[in-house]
Structure 1
């Protein structure tokens, strides 16, 4: 629901077209034409290096209160994919492999994110929009181009939400774009995504909680940029992995923060399990274990993994203190009422004016 103060502004963005018309699914193949076109020049990058992006991702925010985090936890479910989505990814629906659709879309989004040096939050939001859309909107079979169009639209919307320099939607199609779309086609797909997601684009993600948990687990001090960087790597990896869709953003953020600071110790894990009350203790620790397993298998690769700067405490006493502090924080916050308030040559897909 858009706040009343924004009713007028939102009304000018409403579109009377139905979903089929936006995607062009009510048109025959003959209504669309294919033409070859040369790629346009690459726009300038928006950041000098990844460290600056990570800093903007986690530092440029005021310290969150327990009440603020409790309110975010109370609303995070509204910004998650529909129930049953992880199971949908495990089974094929006819000729449509939804897991492959998701994987291909995210792989392309990641390449474009790297090309433009977009902020990590832009990547996380893009995947959030993608997952929420796929969980409620059935994609047509036999139209592989819809996957790329959806990826472009989700990334375009996320960049408009977070980036200071926003390339034109058509200019996002710079990496391995076997087919490219006109601006009006992308815009209509954006409208479909917006309406499907009920215009809830300021999503609650793991990024919404990570600074809170990092500070709390660090005696309320701002963690080093090394910890920020490691947390960024972990959040991006969990956003990409379908295995983490069963967890809530707050659970992922708490697990990432623990992984950034702590070490794996069975007795410590059991101790934390008995005292965590803020968010489901079993789920937080299960998510933490999954992160550790992925790191051990090499599925999640931290850029800092080989750096001595990221060494974790080897003393079990220090590690126990960390877990105990985390457990106390989780228990304390629970006391708050959660209900309070470009390619050289590419194919260009040109849709008819009737879309």
Structure 2
């Protein structure tokens, strides 16, 4: 493999703070968690949902993570490149939706806690492989060997022991809390309790899962907790569009913060390329992810809390998208 090489000693700097040894016994701790966080699971009780709402903060990045991404203190391109690689590996092995969600959760939590050498191109791939490998061990029944996870003709090929050391570093920084609470932990419950239109459960769950995966790839939705994203997605997919219906639906869950859920719903409404509603096809939902990446670049110049740059308001973006849409139709 002429343009690839095995990375061993060049990555040792990543592990300077690692205090444990990567042994087989250590990694058995991952397996014992099982896969109780499955997307298609028994409907949770309200008490269980309340408990997860309270505990979800334990599975989030540090509170200043989003601000650091927007201000450039952290390289948002590093994050995008990592997610792109994770998504390719996820698609290559046809892993479940939750594996992808967990991978991105591990990535964000780790980057918020640990300074990676972001000027080194190998570090993106090494961290990505480790996060995808850990997520697969949590959720998949068949897990490829670490060497086989390095798909799409990688420029660097890491030895299994190097990947294992990176995994252990991630585990130690995340304090072994790998069965993370994600939007998928709540989506079944919310879909069941707010549906206002006749629907096919599997289709609603599929639409919700695709929308969740699309939104969390960009940085804008890092502002929200998993339960808030899940409730906003469930209402969008279930056809709750009128202000009165939205208000009534949110009030049915008194443990949720109304203003934050409303803000998340508005962000989802602006999310599709030609907005106003949730895309009706999986292709439409996944295409919408392109927009979330663009908003990262717009927000990078500002440290404010808004989801878009002050130089490019949502109205101006919509007008530009409308013009592009008109030009497209004229050329057809």
Q: Given the two structures, how large is their TM-score scaled by the length of structure 2?
A: 0.70
Partner of 2:62: 82
1:151 to 116, 124, 128: 128
1:68 counterpart (25, 37, 48) = 48
- CA distance in structure 2 between the aligned counterparts of 1:172 and 1:126, rounded to whole angstroms: 13
* Other structure's SS at 1:126 match: helix
- From 239, 253, 258, the equivalent of 1:281 is 258
The higher relative CO (CA closer than 8 Å, separation ≥ 6) is in 1
Q: CA deviation at 1:297?
A: 4.0
Identify if the C-alpha distance between structure 1 residues 23 and 109 changes in structure 2 by more than 3 Å, giving closer, same or farther. same
- What is the DSSP-based 3-state SS (H/G/I as helix, E as strand, rest coil) of the residue aligned with 2:255? coil
- Aligned residue for 1:295, secondary structure, equals coil
Q: How far did residue 269 of structure 1 move?
A: 3.8
Give runs of aligned pairs for residues 186-335 of structure 1, distance below 5 A.
186-218=163-195, 223-269=200-246, 277-297=254-274, 303-304=281-282
1:301, CA displacement in angstroms? 5.5
Q: Which runs of 5+ in 1 are unaligned?
A: 1-19, 27-55, 308-355
1:174 partner SS:
coil
User: Which of residues 91, 95, 117 in structure 1 aligns to 2:71?
Assistant: 91
2:14 to 23, 27, 38: 23
Q: In 2, distance between residues paired with 1:141 and 1:183?
A: 22
> How far, CA to CA, are the matches of 2:56 and 2:13 in structure 1?
29
Shift of 1:62: 1.7
Tell me the SS of whatever aligns to 1:63: coil
Give aligned pairs, total: 254
1:264 offset after TM fit, Å? 2.9
The change in CA–CA distance for 1:213 and 1:222 in structure 2 (over 3 A counts) is farther
Quick one: distance in 1 between partners of 2:142 and 2:72? 39
Alpha-carbon distance change, 176 to 285 in structure 1, aligned in 2, over 3 angstroms = farther
1:223 offset after TM fit, Å? 4.8
User: What do the CA deviations read for 1:165-197 (whole angstroms, capped 9, x no partner)?
Assistant: 100111011124121211010000000000000
Match of residue 85 from structure 2: 108
Instruction: Report the CA distance shift for 1:137/1:283 in structure 2 as closer, same or farther (over 3 A).
Output: same
Aligned mates of 1:260, 1:217 — CA distance in 2: 10
Cα 1:208–1:124 change in 2 (3 A) is same
Task: State the TM-score, normalizing by the size of structure 1.
Answer: 0.66
Q: In 2, are the aligned partners of 1:130 and 1:151 still within 8 Å (CA)?
A: yes
Question: CA 1:142/1:306 → structure 2, altered by over 3 Å: closer, same or farther?
Answer: closer
- 1:121/1:252 CA distance change after superposition, 3 Å: same
1:136 & 1:80 partners in 2: Cα distance? Answer: 11
Distance 1:194 1:305, change over 3 A: closer
Task: State the partner residue of 1:334.
Answer: none
Aligned partner (choices 136, 142, 154) of residue 113 of structure 2: 136
RMSD: 2.8
1:147 CA drift (Å): 1.2
